[in-house]
Structure 1
Amino acid sequence: MNTDYHFPISSSTTCSCTVKTARDEKVGKIKDLMIDSETGDVVYAVLAVDEGFLNLGTKLLALPWQAFHFHTQQKDVIIVNVEKEKLEAAPGFDSDNWPKGPQHEFIDDLHTYYGFERRRITAL
């Protein structure tokens, strides 16, 4: 996540912000943050899409953390840097069927889909 005011933010604050596109279209809210248990990094955010946006109903989308940044004038808005068409075609899941299985493969796939490079911690 990119910010113009670099400071830590709580997960509860992040989840209470409104997510909008760069074109100021309200998308929804971040439902949860998925944290890598080895590094402590947020690897992806689970975006709960508002009913009516993209005609997706209550679909959940996993997006790389790098796909988001905070609005510089509105502290309660997070901008998703993904085109609406990409979100429309994105593979999603419902609240009863969260991603399972090899998580590193899933995380690599979602970074590839959205066009963000996955940051990896290298040993010293």
Structure 2
Amino acid sequence: MPTNSGHTTAIRASRVIGTSVYNNAGDKIGEIEDVMLDKTADNIMFAVVGFGGFLGIGEKYHAIPWKLLDYDESTGGYVVPFTRDQLEQAPAHGITELTENDGRQVRDMSFSYYKVDTPAQTHY
């Protein structure tokens, strides 16, 4: 079933990983390195976008709330509604920090910075 913007509601993570991410100005800001899942709440926590660095050295990772990424067929990538300056000021993390404390600290920082409500947590 398609979303309001005409995209499908289901997509394989392997198809998303490696996809370029652009800002509103059309500048490529990075690519999706991974997708963090919250297996207890059965949802996506955030997209991990690699930003900066060279050949993986010095690269920082941004946790961007999944619902802020909008696929744009003309670029073949995702667009986020932020300027380069906003993205450069966003919380950035090393790869190991993304999963510390079950990823919740990174998720909460990211959702707070981007002014997105944190999803309610389901506990089993």
**2:41 touches 2:122 (CA, 8 Å); kept in 1?**
no
In structure 1, the partner of 2:97 is: 98
SS at match of 1:98: helix
In structure 2, the partner of 1:16 is: 18
Q: Among residues 36, 39, 42, which one is paired with 1:40 in the alignment?
A: 42
| Change over 3 Å in CA distance of 1:3–1:50 after alignment to 2 | farther
In structure 2, the partner of 1:120 is: 120
**2:35 touches 2:46 (CA, 8 Å); kept in 1?**
yes
| Change over 3 Å in CA distance of 1:79–1:94 after alignment to 2 | same
Kindly state the Cα deviation for residue 105 of structure 1 after the two structures are TM-superposed: 4.0
**1:29 touches 1:48 (CA, 8 Å); kept in 2?**
yes
* Total equivalences in the alignment: 116
Q: Structure 2: how far apart are the matches of 1:88 and 1:21? A: 11
**1:4 touches 1:72 (CA, 8 Å); kept in 2?**
no
Compute the RMSD of aligned alpha carbons.
2.5
4+ aligned runs moved over 3 Å, structure 1: 102-106
In structure 2, the partner of 1:68 is: 69
Q: Which runs of 5+ in 1 are unaligned?
A: none
**TM alignment of 1:23-34, pairs within 5 A:** 23-34=25-36
In structure 2, the partner of 1:58 is: 59
Q: Which runs of 5+ in 2 are unaligned?
A: none
**1:108 touches 1:118 (CA, 8 Å); kept in 2?**
yes
SS at match of 1:22: coil
Q: Write the deviation string for residues 68-98 of structure 1: whole angstroms up to 9, x where unpaired.
A: 1111444x31112222222111121223x32
| Change over 3 Å in CA distance of 1:122–1:93 after alignment to 2 | closer
| Change over 3 Å in CA distance of 1:6–1:102 after alignment to 2 | closer
